[in-house]
Amino acid sequence: MLPSIPLHKDIVRPPETILVNITPQESRVAIVEENNICELHIERNSGHSLVGNIYLGIVRRVLPGMQSAFIDIGLERAAFLHIVDVLEQRQNPDADQRIEHMLFEGQTVLVQVIKDPLNSKGARLSTQISLAGRFLVHLPQDNHIGISQRIEDEDERNQLRQRLENLLPKENHGGYIIRTSAETATDAELQADIEYLTKVWANIQYQAKTLPAETMIYQDLPLSLRVLRDMFSDNTVKILVDSKENHQKMCEFAAQYVQGAAEKIEWFTGERPLFETHNVEQEINRALQPRVSLNFGSYLIIESTEAMTTIDVNTGGFVGARNFDETIFKTNLEACHAIARELRLRNIGGIVIIDFIDMVSESHREAVLQELAKALSFDRTRVTLNGFTSLGLVELTRKRTRESLNHVLCEPCPTCQGRGRLKTPQTVCYEIQREIVRESRRFDVKQFRILASPEVIDLFLDEESQSLALLIDFIGKPISLAVENSYTQEQYDVVLI
């Protein structure tokens, strides 16, 4: 296993502008740093993220062999709970526990969604409840005080822990995780967060006692307000929102919970749409393409699969340096920042393998690795950089927090079923001929008719006309052709007449 490369935690983040576009159908947020769109968040009313929602569920099935259970929370598909996400197991990870000893069918259980449903998989759940505030995350069933890993200075960590302990009531208060944003928070702001989260938990407990099972009893804030809670920082220059109603809601929320944000929220009233004015629409379309152009003709190719994402760096036509080694080095350095930005922009999670252009010099390899570590430090999402493998590839992981931009905006092609490739007309021609031979042996018919796309029929009439004539002689039956303009290149029917 490769040792992880430390990221640059003390790096100065550039000033940022947050753009908030609200329509009746969806909310969209873009974060702009130095005139570059670096993050996109999209939340649709028809497909609202369930992460953070709390439900009163019913255990439908317990699977001892998988150490998991299916919980009905009122969604189309039953949700999934693994033993590692059960509170008792999380509190005692070294204990030898079994899920069938913790849950039974028909049991009512309070659960929180930690991962949205995806494709055929149901939502993933946890019985450990966490409630996010501006500076703190409340763990009401725990008594532990944790601190964000991004706060590395040990003295600062101890100071923050002591400040929080002094503010907490002496009675049972539950656990807390101190977020990175708490570094600059005052005692009054931390106290307000504690009081807010305590009220939210008290309301959840009351709802759990009074509402029926399979009911949602808590929903996280909408995207427009989560922007203020999770993304606003001292680096935020302004927040532009194009909805008057939501501008008012954001100002009210900021005045109560996010100090310093209210005066930076502006209602955008430009003649052109907000996202069009700042070229966000163009960036969204570009982020759906596999190719990313760099300077001087070099480029990246980004391909994502279920297992991982691969990024290939190419020089293209760039030969501007004095020698080829310098050309490669400069291209790889530039690619570092482009890769870090694309990971954020496309919200790529999981395993990422980067194929930089091969470098002979060990100092060049080390410099590229350090430049990549620096570029990745701007990411709000946790990234682990593992350096070069024995094959000369760079390996990193980025925590999956939400669906990728591609998943939100696109669906698999109905023609190729997401393969990204189509069978050639010639391949389809040969498939049709094999099927006709097979069917001629099973059924005694007068003739066969081939229904196919124009490309396939044209091939039968031209290059494959001789093979079609040989087939007619072989089976001793006539074969007629018919074009179906509605068929894709791979679709065809062999009709027995």
Across the range 481-486, mean pLDDT stands at: 94
How confident is residue 9, by pLDDT bands cut at 50, 70 and 90?
A: low
Residues forming CATH 3.30.420.60 domain(s) in the chain:
16-47+221-280
Cα(81)–Cα(91) distance, rounded to whole angstroms? 16
pLDDT of residue 296: 76
Q: Compute the mean pLDDT over every residue in the chain, rounded to the nearest whole number.
A: 89
Q: Which fold has domain 289-408?
A: Aminopeptidase (3.40.630)
> Which one-letter amino acid corresponds to residue 247?
H
Of the two residues 258 and 67, the one the predictor is more confident about is 67
How confident is residue 279, by pLDDT bands cut at 50, 70 and 90?
A: very high
pLDDT of residue 317: 65
Q: How far apart are the first and last CA of the chain?
A: 64
Across the range 82-111, mean pLDDT stands at: 89
Cα(133)–Cα(138) distance, rounded to whole angstroms? 8
User: Considering all CA atoms of the chain, what is the largest pairwise distance in Å, rounded to the nearest integer?
Assistant: 94
Q: Is the pLDDT of residue 10 over 70?
A: no
Residue range 425-496, CATH number: 3.40.1260.20
Of the two residues 175 and 8, the one the predictor is more confident about is 175
The domain over range 16-47+221-280 is classified in CATH as 3.30.450.20:
no
pLDDT of residue 436: 94
**Between the CA atoms of 413, 417, 423 and 424, what dihedral angle is there, to the nearest 10 degrees?**
-10
Q: Which of 88, 129, 98 is nearest to 112 (CA)?
A: 129
Across the range 483-492, mean pLDDT stands at: 93
Across the range 132-154, mean pLDDT stands at: 87
Across the range 362-385, mean pLDDT stands at: 91
Across the range 402-422, mean pLDDT stands at: 85
Q: Is the pLDDT of residue 39 over 90?
A: yes
Q: Is the pLDDT of residue 47 over 70?
A: no
Q: Is the pLDDT of residue 128 over 90?
A: yes
Across the range 314-342, mean pLDDT stands at: 83
Give one DSSP letter per residue of 385-448, joined into a string.
EEEE-TTS-EEEEE---S--HHHHH----TTTTTSS----HHHHHHHHHHHHHHHHHH---S-E
- Two structure tokens written together for 21: 């576009």
Single pTM value for the model: 0.76
Q: Which residues partner with 71 through β-bridges?
A: 59, 79
Residues forming CATH 2.40.50.140 domain(s) in the chain:
64-128
How confident is residue 289, by pLDDT bands cut at 50, 70 and 90?
A: very high
Q: Which residues of 29-68 are buried (b: 16+ CB within 10 A; e: fewer)?
A: bbbbbeeebbbbbbbeeeebbbbbbbbbbbbeebeeeebb
Cα(378)–Cα(7) distance, rounded to whole angstroms? 9
Q: How far is CA 438 from CA 82, 281, 475, 482, in A?
A: 49, 52, 10, 20
Across the range 66-82, mean pLDDT stands at: 92
Give 102-112 pLDDT, tens digit per residue.
Answer: 999 999 999 99
Q: Residue 229 carries which DSSP code?
A: I
Of the two residues 140 and 325, the one the predictor is more confident about is 140
Enumerate residues 6+ apart whose C-beta is below 8 A from 80.
68, 69, 70, 71, 121, 122, 123, 124, 125
Q: Is the pLDDT of residue 322 over 70?
A: no
Cα(13)–Cα(378) distance, rounded to whole angstroms? 7
> Which one-letter amino acid corresponds to residue 424?
T
Q: Which of 114-123, 318-327, 378-387, 434-443 has the lowest mean pLDDT?
A: 318-327
Q: Which of 128-137, 139-148, 169-178 has the lowest mean pLDDT?
A: 169-178
Cα(395)–Cα(388) distance, rounded to whole angstroms? 7
pLDDT of residue 171: 74
How confident is residue 282, by pLDDT bands cut at 50, 70 and 90?
A: very high
Percent of the chain with pLDDT over 90: 60
Q: Is the pLDDT of residue 1 over 60?
A: no
Across the range 320-328, mean pLDDT stands at: 73
Q: Which of 7-11, 104-108, 148-152 has the lowest mean pLDDT?
A: 7-11
Across the range 343-349, mean pLDDT stands at: 94
The SS3 of residue 173 is: coil
Q: Is the pLDDT of residue 3 over 70?
A: no
Q: Which of 421, 491, 480 is nearest to 456 (CA)?
A: 491
Q: Which of 258-262, 333-337, 354-358 has the lowest mean pLDDT?
A: 258-262
Beta strand 36-44 pairing with 26-33: antiparallel
pLDDT of residue 318: 58
Q: Which fold has domain 64-128?
A: OB fold (Dihydrolipoamide Acetyltransferase, E2P) (2.40.50)
Across the range 65-94, mean pLDDT stands at: 89
Cα(324)–Cα(330) distance, rounded to whole angstroms? 10
Q: Which of 276, 286, 215 is nearest to 242 (CA)?
A: 276
pLDDT of residue 280: 94
Sheet containing strand 492-496, strands side by side: 479-483, 448-452, 492-496
Of the two residues 316 and 356, the one the predictor is more confident about is 356
Cα(284)–Cα(275) distance, rounded to whole angstroms? 10
Residues forming CATH 3.40.1260.20 domain(s) in the chain:
425-496
